[in-house]
Each structure stands twice: as structure tokens, then as C-alpha cells.
Amino acid sequence: MKNSEPPLPLLNLDLNLLVIFDTILAERNISRAADRLELAQPTVSNALNRLRQITGDRLFVRTGRGMEPTPHAERMAQPLREALATLRSALHARRQFDPASDRRTFTLFLTDLGEAFFLPRLLAHLRSVAPGVKLTTLPMPDHNPQAALESGEVDLAIGNLPDMKTGYYQQRLFREQYIGIARPGHPLFADEMSLERFRQASHAVVAPHGTGHSVLEQSLLKLGLQERIVLRVQNFLVLPAIVIQTDLVAMVPRSAANQLASAYALKLMPLPIVLPEFVVKQCWHERFHTDAGNQWLRSQIAQIFMEGDAVLAREEA
């Protein structure tokens, strides 16, 4: 007896529709999905309408939080993501990597602070050992940054990354701690930064998406200093220009503060509060652990930036 259900029209299915579906799922917004894919917004909307016709489901519904997936879309998500990852891996598989001749472009998740700290030394090194290799950096997205590493769209994430869990390898590069910055001649900090004067100061804070730096604002809130937070910014690198022209103070990682102090007249001070040290690490998905190019890039980053012995771990489910 023949099956009465019509077969899914796979022969006519444009695989780009699945890529668009996966991107909308990650961004929860048509405009952001279009920007990420470098497509016109109507193109993405038309693709979503075609998928709705194929599946017989609305897939995404507009809410106050953005484009939320329907239950059917949620059921589709993981199998389609795995299928796309498999296709990308098959189409771009490489058995070996020759840094002297390869022209591969690697994509990294880095904060603005990470770009300033890592890229000058890394690029100088790559020019001498891999002149054809190129780098692209992306900020950590608001939603599901793990998907880009799992699919291979992004090769490595580098920084303070507490949310990289199941299925990711992590290699510690160095330990880091926070320090206070203010302008020279700040009326509260002629000498050291005491706790009393720290409480009196006006603060600027930053918390890049997907990183552990939210601890900075949390520490001020625990001290009851929410009214002393007068500026919240998206990036660390704007802080020096603001701090040296105002009476604001800020907390930044020590290595970055030392580097920024060479370009700005900053006063660096130990903090009067206890903040946990954090680990700067590079993370990659287990699917690309044996990829020759990925292995090579990881080894170069470890060679340049790692302090002490390598600590390599993979988080298990």
C-alpha cells in the first residue's frame, strides 16, 4: 500500500533556505539575520515564506522579544544544524595545512579588547610564517555563539569565556586580574584607591556579550553602588578616552590596562575590592579538534601568548 503523504520536495529544496533558517534562529531578528548573511532583508523574508510553504508551519512568530520559533521550528533546529555542519565539513575538508602556501581565512570571536591585545603580535607572527593566511574577527553575538563554532563559521573563540561548555576544547593561555584606571590628577585618587574613595567615585562599566566581564558591574551592585554607575558602554577600548577627560573610574584587565597606558595618560591602581582572577583561553568545537588548519592556528596562538604549560580540557555533557 502506497503512502498517502506527499514526499517532501527535496529535489527542489534550496539549501540556502536552511542556512537562512539557522541564522534567523540564532539572531531572532530578520534584519540582524540579513546583516549577518550580507543579504537584503526582503530576500531573507522571502526565503522564510518559502520555508513556511514547504513545512506548512509559520516557523517564527513575532513577539516582544523578537522572532520566536514555533515548536515545529525548535524540533527542526538541531537536525538541520547538524546536517549543515556535516555539509560544510565535507565541502571544505582539508587533509593537510601548509602555512607557507595556504591562503585560508580564519575567523575568530574576539572582544575589542582582545583585538587590541592579540592581533598586533599575532599578525606580525603570521606575516613571517604564513603570508597568505588572513584573519577575520567577529564580536560575540547576543544569541547562541556556540552555533558558529559548531558549524565552522568561526574557528576559535579567545577571551574570558565561561559559557563554552559541552563539546568544546579549552586551552588556557594566561591568568588575568582586574585593575582600576583613572585620570592623573583625579581629585579622589591622588594616592591609592581606598575603598571609601572607590565608593565615592562615579563609575563606567562595560560587559561585552558572551564573556565573564559582567562580574565588574555585579561587584558594584553588591556594594550598593548602583547609583554610582553613571555610564555603561559596549566596549573596553572607549574607556581610556572617556576616563582621561572626566572624573569617572573604571575596572579593566591588567594586561589591557598596561597596554592602554602606553597610548593614554592613565593612572593605574590596585582595586580595593576583591574580584576573582579569570582565565583567558582559546576555545574550539570538538568537531574541528583534528582539523589541520585549526590545529596549526591554535598552536601559533599558544606559542605566542601562553604562560606556563598548556592546559587542555574538553567539557563533557
Residue-wise pLDDT for 73-97, tens only, equals 999 998 888 888 888 777 765 568 9
pLDDT tier, 161 (very low <50, low <70, confident <90, very high otherwise): confident
Burial of 258 (0-12, 13-18, 19+ CB in 10 A): middle
Burial of 70 (0-12, 13-18, 19+ CB in 10 A): middle
The predicted structure's pLDDT at residue 29: 92
Mean per-residue pLDDT, 29-50: 93
Q: CB 135: neighbour CB atoms within 10 A?
A: 17
Domains contained in the chain, CATH given: 11-91 (1.10.10.10), 105-175+278-314 (3.40.190.10), 178-269 (3.40.190.10)
pLDDT tier, 24 (very low <50, low <70, confident <90, very high otherwise): very high
Cα distances from 23 to residues 61, 97, 132, 163, in angstroms, run: 15, 29, 30, 20
Q: What is the pTM of this model?
A: 0.66
pLDDT tier, 310 (very low <50, low <70, confident <90, very high otherwise): very low
The residue with cell 562580574 is 215
More confident residue, 47 or 163: 47
More confident residue, 236 or 45: 45
CA distance 15 to 84: 9
Mean per-residue pLDDT, 194-206: 94
The predicted structure's pLDDT at residue 196: 93
CA distance 186 to 181: 10
The predicted structure's pLDDT at residue 1: 43
Kind and range of the H or E run holding 89: helix 71-91
The yes-or-no verdict on residue 317 having pLDDT over 60 is: no
Where residue 83 falls (left for φ over 0; alpha for ψ -120 to 50; beta otherwise) is: alpha
The predicted structure's pLDDT at residue 154: 95
What cell numbers appear for 299 in the block?
Answer: 598552536
The predicted structure's pLDDT at residue 243: 94
The predicted structure's pLDDT at residue 271: 94
The yes-or-no verdict on residue 25 having pLDDT over 50 is: yes
CA distance 192 to 214: 25
Residue-wise pLDDT for 100-146, tens only, equals 999 999 999 998 888 988 999 999 999 999 999 999 999 887 777 88
More confident residue, 184 or 7: 184
pLDDT tier, 177 (very low <50, low <70, confident <90, very high otherwise): very high
Q: CB 227: neighbour CB atoms within 10 A?
A: 8
Mean per-residue pLDDT, 41-67: 92
The residue with cell 603570508 is 131
The predicted structure's pLDDT at residue 191: 81
SS3 content of the chain, % helix, strand, coil (to 5): 40, 20, 40
What cell numbers appear for 279 in the block?
Answer: 582565565
The predicted structure's pLDDT at residue 75: 93
- What's the whole-number average pLDDT of the chain? 87
What end-to-end distance do the CA atoms of the chain give, in Å?
Answer: 43
Please name the residues in contact with 143: beta carbons below 8 A apart, sequence gap of 6 or more.
26, 27, 28
Q: Which residues pair with 170 in a beta bridge?
A: 283, 313
CA distance 259 to 105: 27
Of 50-54, 82-86, 220-224, which gets the smallest average pLDDT?
82-86
The yes-or-no verdict on residue 8 having pLDDT over 80 is: no
Mean per-residue pLDDT, 149-158: 93
**DSSP code for 274:** -
More confident residue, 160 or 46: 46
